[in-house]
Amino acid sequence: MTDAPHEKASIASLAMTRRMHRRRAAETRFRLYGRASVIFSMAALGWLLLSIAATGLSAFTQHWVDLDLDVRAESATDNDRRRLADALAGGFGVQADDAVRQELLALVSASAATDALARNAERSGATLRLTVPVSDQADQYYKGRVDASRPAAQRRLTDRQIAWLDRWADEEQVERRFNRGLFVNPDSRDPERAGLASAILGSVMIVLIAGALALPVGIGAAIYLDGFAPQTGWGGRLTRALEVNINNLAAVPAIVFGLLGLAVFINVFGLARSIPLVGGLVLALRMFPTIVIASRAALRAVPDSLTDSALSLGASRMQAVFNHKVPIAAPAMLTGSIIGMAQALGETAPLLMIGMVAFVTAVPESPLDPATALPVQIFLWSGSAEAAWAERASAAIIVLLAVLMVINGVAIVLRERLQRRRSL
Amino acid sequence: MCKAEDRRPGLGFRRLTEILAERLVIAAVLATGLWACAPRDRPPVRIVGSSTIFPFAAKVAETYTRRTSVPIVVEQTGSGGGHKLFCSGDASIDATTSSRPQKPAESAICAANGVAPVIELPLGFDGIVLARSVDAVPIRLDTVTLYHALARKLPTSATDCTPVPNPYSRWSQIDPGLPDEPIEIFGPPPTSGTRDAFVETAMETGARRFPCLAAMERDTPSLFRARVHDLREDGAWINSGENDNAMVRTLVDSPAAIGVLGFSFLNQNTDKVGGIAIGGVVPTSATIRSGTYPVVRTLYLYMKDGSAADVRGYGMEFLSDEASGPGGYLEEIGLIPLPDALRTATRQRLSDADKAESRIEGSEP
């Protein structure tokens, strides 16, 4: 600040006020821009979450129907679908022909009901009491997603089918339940029986394997590059070249890692396609540069004076780095690593190349059994024809987001704890 | 004093991070080790191939797994990708589905890699349909109109095949009886088997109505193919992705547009889009099955002769009454079943191969 002479105050203040106004106006404008961009991004995120929740939340419940099936008369045929259809027709008191059978089978989860029939094949003498999920279309109808006022040709359910469904509802045979199958069943082509078990387990295995490989290697590499690698002369040049290349590696599109995985792990090492072990190996490669870069940045943010003072007091380089530098950088390193793991959890492209974008009929029991991953399951479900898949895909997105939030939550809690310990 | 303050938390951290890292690594290694110790003793049956057949193949896989607890993996690689993997000699690929017959070049690769002999099993039919939003004005098309609408170069007249650029931009210009709407057809990209089948059935049939083009097909089939397979790129034909769901949404949003879809997608979305009659025949399960609907292709499953019992069992399940018979669970999701005689014969062929195989091995049931 210069001491402006008082007699020029009136003239100076005019120019000064103008400049002052301009500066303040600039600041106000910037605040507005800032607020606008925050509002815009929050609105986009809110809209995304809302639209997913609006379509997906209903998939966490599913309607079930209690059936009393009289399968005695039809025991002559060994076609379970036909037996089921005839028994359903008997229940409604209608004559069964091909069209009626087809429409009746489209009301319940035919595969679940025929499985139950097959299980109870020896009890064909009595009336069979079954509780099965209703079909995807019927479920959509009970959830109010079918517009019965449209002309019959423009909806998936015929007038007859709607009348039958209403009759079940009137006789209180239908119950809306929590959709437990969504979490414990393997994938299915019937939306009402489809579950995420294979995908959740697959994702967990992939992330654990990738983390177990990439975390120690990535953090170790970062600490070495930061504290121990030569910084001068030819060695220094080599170190810098290495760092540039690790940065480049982080920018390589994910699909390239998938191709690499296919060429190396499957074609050279002869590991099987579609297994979480290969997925974990590929994603470990994908996570590695992210972890190195994040950890490097965290270590670089620690003031050199800290290690310098430790060194000057006679500590070895090892002691200076591990006892003084790493603990301070640990919270940020942890955050970076967890972000890397969360990214790996959401990756689809590399899994495509190693055959994990597949329909897997059984829940994996080990990392060597075929499995899929959560993002892959979302991709597969959203590409399927039946309308109910849109709902299930959104539900799978909600599950994936929940898992990511848990991971990020753990990261935040760990970071807070580490930071509190430092400020002691 | 500074030192003392620094060291205490420093060591605390070190211990904490060490313990944490150690436990995490140990837990992960242990868990991985335990899992790795116990993979299933039964190797999964692995099916690759066509994305059109994927819903059917996956549904059969699911049913078969439920009945026999044999794990099955179905991957959609496209028909071409499926043949490539299957013929590469990779022993883990048990069978491939294909929305077209295997090409001679592909059979040669199979034979060269020791994947021979191969059994070809027809599974059913797929109609390729033109569809538009249920809110749109009805439109009646035939293959000649389609050829007029989509060929990049049209013949000057019925007898003179000198190519002229396609002048039409609205349906009413081709035929005054058609609605006055822009020609806008969304279809699969050139890599797709659906597109090949559409061009080979619809476009080639339309082109043959021009005597000069029919003559060209007789004399120089390669020229004819090149000419007819060349679709417009000025906005009348729009390559859309392989995702038919996205296509259905596009059609709902723009009622003037027409989409080229597999019949199973039309079947599942009758509340949003309707099939367009071609030459007066509306695509339904019955018209496609009887062959009156003109744009049809056969779907196939290929497996090695003498495959493992699980793989043949999968094929038998695919061809069973409950799956692809009339009223079966595959018809429900849009597969057009084979005529009963052909299906029975195919089943017979597969079970004969089964028996022949068990005679050779002497141990198979």
Provide the CATH number for the domain around residue B91.
3.40.190.10
Domain with B140, as residue range(s), is 127-296
Q: Among residues 269-308 of chain A, which lie with CB inside 8 Å of chain B? A: 272-274, 277
Looking at residue B37, its pLDDT comes to: 52
Angle formed by the axes of helices A197-223 and A374-382, to 10°? 130
Q: What residue of B is the nearest CA neighbor of A145?
A: B271
* Sequence-distant (≥ 6) Cβ neighbours of residue B111 within 8 angstroms: none
b/e per residue A269-306 (b: at least 16 CB within 10 A)? eebbbbbbbbbbbbbbbbbbbbbbbbbbebbeebeeee
Rounded to whole angstroms, the Cα distance separating B150 from B184 reads 9
pTM, full prediction: 0.80
User: Average pLDDT of chain B?
Assistant: 82
Higher pLDDT, A127 or B280: B280
Quote the DSSP letter at residue B131.
E
Per-residue pLDDT band at A312 (split at 50, 70, 90): very high
The answer to whether B177 and B269 have CB atoms below 8 angstroms apart is: no
Q: Do the domain assignments include residue B6?
A: no
Interface test with B, best of A81, A189, A262, A382 (most B CBs within 10 A): A189
Q: Are B72 and B92 in a shared domain?
A: yes
pLDDT > 80? residue A119: no
Of B35, B75, B243, the CB nearest to A355: B75
CB-CB under 8 Å, A355 with B73: yes
pLDDT at residue B296 tops 90: no
Residues B292 and B198 in one domain: yes
Q: Evaluate whether residue B208 is within a structural domain.
A: yes
Written as one string, the DSSP assignment of B256-305 is T-EEEEEHHHHHHTTTTEEEPPBTTB---HHHHHHT-SS-EEEEEEEEET
Same domain (yes/no): B175, B286: yes
Spell out the SS3 assignment of B170-211: EHHHHCCCCCCCECCEEECCCCCHHHHHHHHHHHHHHHHCCH
**Pair (B196, B110) in one structural domain:** no
Q: Closest approach of chain B CAs to the CA of A363, in angstroms?
A: 9
Query: Which of B231, B223, B235, B237 has the alpha carbon at shortest distance from B161?
Result: B223
- Nearest Cα residue in chain A from B10: A323
Nearest-CA distance from B98 to chain A in Å?
16
pLDDT > 90: percent of chain B? 16
pLDDT digit string, tens, across residues A61-71:
999 998 888 77
Q: What is the CATH number of domain A197-422?
A: 1.10.3720.10
Which of B296, B312, B341 is at the close of a domain? Answer: B296
CB pairs under 8 A between A and B: 190
Rounded CA separation B254/B306 (Å):
51
- Sign of torsion, CA A145 B330 A154 A169? negative
Chain A contact set for B10 (CB, 8 A): 323-324, 327
Q: Look up residue B104 and give its two tokens.
A: 């001679």
B18 within some domain: no
Q: Is the pLDDT of residue B357 over 80?
A: no
The arithmetic mean of pLDDT across residues B219-245, rounded, is 83
In this structure, the answer to whether residues B131 and B231 fall within a common structural domain is yes
The verdict on B216 and B179 lying in the same domain is yes
Give B312-346 pLDDT, tens digit per residue. Answer: 999 999 999 888 888 888 988 888 889 889 999 99
A12: pLDDT strictly greater than 50: yes
- Average of pLDDT values for B187-198? 80
Range of weakest confidence among A79-88, A166-175, B205-214:
A79-88
Question: Going by C-beta distance under 8 Å and a sequence separation of 6 or more, which residues neighbour residue B28?
Answer: A208, A209, A211, A212
End-to-end CA distance of chain B: 84
Q: Considering B241, B267, B296, which residue would you say is the last residue of a domain? A: B296
Nearest by CB: A358 against B69, B74, B243: B74
Closest Cβ opposite residue A385 in set B28, B269, B271: B269
Structure token digits, residue A10:
């009136």
Do B186 and B258 belong together in one domain? yes
Please give the DSSP secondary-structure letter assigned to residue A188: -
Evaluate whether residue B161 is within a structural domain: yes
Averaged pLDDT of chain A: 87
Domain ranges of chain A: 65-177, 197-422
Among B28, B62, B134, beta carbon nearest to A188: B62
> Phi and psi dihedrals of A16, rounded to 5?
-65, -45
Of the candidates B239, B273, B296, which is a domain's last residue? Answer: B296
- Could you give the 3-state DSSP secondary structure of residue B163? strand
Scanning every residue of chain A, which has its alpha carbon at the shortest distance from the alpha carbon of B321? A79
Q: Are residues B219 and B150 in the same domain?
A: yes
Looking at the domain assignment, is residue B16 inside a domain? no
- On whether residue B19 sits in a domain, the answer given is no
Same domain, B220 and B183: yes
Q: Long-range pairs for A381-384 at CB < 8 Å and ≥24 separation?
A: A381/A194, A382/B245, A383/B243, A383/B244, A383/B245, A384/A189, A384/B55, A384/B245
Q: What is the pLDDT of residue B124?
A: 92
Tens digits of residue pLDDT in B52-83? 898 899 999 999 998 888 899 999 888 888 99
A240, A225 Cβ separation under 8 angstroms = no
To probe the interface with B, which of A204, A274, A361 has the most B CB atoms within 10 Å?
A: A361
Q: Are residues B101 and B214 in the same domain?
A: no
In a domain, B221, yes or no: yes
**Neighboring chain A residues of B65 at a CB cutoff of 8 Å:** 361-362
* Predicted pLDDT at B47: 94
B354 pLDDT band (50/70/90 cuts)?
low
Q: How many domains does chain B have?
A: 2
Q: Which of A111, A327, A383 sits opposite B17 (nearest CB)?
A: A327
Q: Is A420 on the interface with B (CB under 8 A)?
A: no
Identify all chain A residues contacting B326, using CB atoms and an 8 Å cutoff. 98
B329 to A422: CB separation less than 8 angstroms, yes or no: no
Structural element, H or E, at residue A329: helix A326-345
* Residue range A243-248: mean pLDDT, rounded: 91
If you average pLDDT over residues B229-237, what whole number do you get? 86
B286 and B231 in a common domain:
yes
> What pLDDT, on a 0 to 100 scale, did the predictor assign at position B356?
59
Same domain, B151 and B255: yes
Residue A420, pLDDT above cutoff 80: no
Please tell me the distance in Å from B352's CA to the nearest CA on chain A.
Answer: 23
- Decide: residue A17, CB within 10 A, 0-12 exposed, 13-18 middle, 19+ buried: exposed
